[in-house]
Amino acid sequence: MEDKRYTVGITIGDFNGVGPEVIIKTLEDERIFKFCTVVIYGQKSVISYYTRHFKIQNFNVHEVTEAAPINPKIPNIINCWPEQVQINPGEATAEGGNHAMICLNAAIKDLTEGKIDVLVTGPVNKSSISQTHPDFKGQTEYISKAAGNENSMMLLVDEGLRVGLVTNHVSLKDVTGKIDINLIISKIEILNQTLKQDFLISKPRIAILGLNPHAGDNSLLGKEEKDIIAPAVNRAKEKGIIAVGPFSADGFFGMHHYRQFDAVLAMYHDQGLVPFKTLSFGTGVNYTAGLNIIRTSPDHGTAFDIAGKDLASPDSLRAAIFSGIDIAEKRAAYKEMTANPVERVTLDKE
């Protein structure tokens, strides 16, 4: 397989958050252009505002009207809107949310049309976006719908730890009503296939967490483990998937049992993200698994409390870029390896 130089699109996210800052800090290091070509979806005036604000010199961008042709040696930027905007670092505004969506829509269009190979989304604020897009639940859900597969998976990735979610941005009081056997099985299947094609793990081992404290404690603290989760795990095993559980979440992470598995499937958002961010905050990546496109993002939000203060670390964004490239390479390798499988031949015994 020939080496390919991948094109990575990066949305600035909410321009009042830390998105522009971490993009500038990441792309200041010119070594990144040895590995990929970069297209920023935003506005040059926003980037210029923050380079002046942080007194960063010699940060050049190449303005383009579309994702090709582009300059492989410096950041390219597509101006996603023509008007000037009011930038207020640290403030949640409807303008910031609306323009974040303009950038996201432009990037999704190019991604689905194959003009970019990987999409890395900058952090957004749901409250800001909801003022102009009231049905917005999160970038994972929005991108999944645009890609034609709403049954995707939020998968948090770091070296040695991968945590997927059965439910994403769902109120805790509604989680129990969302979970059923078929949903859990579908998430196990997505996770299993993702580990194979995007991480090249031939026989993935997947740990399934329970829902209730102590995984229900023999149904004393809830029956979801017995009635829903365990049957789903058994059904997954019948399909040839190496799935184990349900485990009590606190003991599972407290005893470092996650090290024995290739991935962990949590039932709800905080059950998975609290231990993941405790173990990997700053270097973790949010990956949308189960789609025919590749989207990653840093594992942090807009961080309005530190926006504009030169305190944001670019580590997670950098990790998101390289994770996206790595997944693209492995997915291409998997496709090549499985394109013409050797048929099994049974020889008749004489």
Boundaries of every domain in the chain: 1-151+292-338, 153-290
Band (pLDDT 50/70/90 cuts) for residue 349 is low
Predicted TM-score (pTM) above 0.85 = yes
Query: At a CB cut-off of 8 Å and minimum separation 6, what does 177 contact?
Result: none
Give yes or no on whether 1-151+292-338 and 153-290 have one common fold.
Answer: yes
Residues 269, 53: Cα–Cα separation, whole Å: 35
Amino acid 1: pLDDT: 47
Looking at residue 150, what is its pLDDT? 78
Q: How far apart are CA 82 and CA 104, in angstroms?
A: 16
Residue, of 1 and 222, whose pLDDT is higher? 222
pLDDT band of 219, cuts 50, 70, 90: confident
Mean predicted confidence (pLDDT) in 16-44: 96
> pLDDT digits over 239-294, tens only?
999 999 999 999 999 999 999 999 999 999 999 999 999 998 778 999 999 999 99
Query: What's residue 3's pLDDT?
Result: 66
State which fold the 1-151+292-338 domain adopts: Isopropylmalate Dehydrogenase (3.40.718)
Contacts 24+ apart (CB under 8 A), 67-72: 67/7, 67/9, 67/39, 67/110, 67/115, 67/116, 68/7, 68/115, 70/7, 70/37, 70/39, 71/37, 72/5, 72/33, 72/37
Beta carbons within 8 Å of 175's beta carbon, 6+ residues apart: 167, 211, 267, 268
The predicted-structure confidence for 113-162, as pLDDT tens digits, reads as follows 999 999 999 999 999 999 999 999 899 999 999 988 878 999 999 988 99
pLDDT digits (tens, 9 = 90+) for 53-71: 999 988 999 999 887 778 8
Question: How is 89-123 classified by DSSP, letter by letter?
Answer: TT---HHHHHHHHHHHHHHHHHHHTTS-SEEEPPP
| CA–CA distances in Å: residue 177 to residues 167, 183, 228 | 11, 11, 11
Query: pLDDT at position 217, please?
Result: 79
Q: How confident is residue 94, by pLDDT bands cut at 50, 70 and 90?
A: very high
- The token pair at 249 is 């979440």
Tens digits of residue pLDDT in 288-321: 999 999 999 998 999 999 999 999 999 999 999 9
Helix pair angle (181-197, 315-337), 10° resolution: 80
Q: Tell me the per-residue pLDDT of 187-213, one tens digit each, with 9 for 90 and over.
A: 999 999 999 999 999 999 999 999 998
Model confidence at 347: pLDDT above 90: no
Q: Any idea what the Cα angle at residue 77 is, between residues 330 and 26, rounded to 5°?
A: 60
Q: Which fold has domain 153-290?
A: Isopropylmalate Dehydrogenase (3.40.718)
Asked if residue 5 has pLDDT above 70, the reply is yes
**Which pLDDT does position 34 carry in this prediction?**
93
Residue pair 169/269 in contact by the 8 Å Cβ criterion? yes
Start-to-end CA span in the chain (Å): 42
| Residue 196 burial by Cβ neighbours in a 10 Å radius (0-12, 13-18, 19+) | middle
| Residue 36: closest CA among 332, 331, 318, 282 | 318
Residue 90 has pLDDT above 60, yes or no: yes
Amino acid at 309: K
Rounded Cα distance between 190 and 153, Å, is 7
* pLDDT for residue 339: 83
**Local confidence band at 49 (pLDDT 50, 70, 90 cut-offs):** very high
Q: How many residues does the chain have?
A: 350
Would you say 196 and 232 are in contact if contact means Cβ atoms under 8 Å apart? no
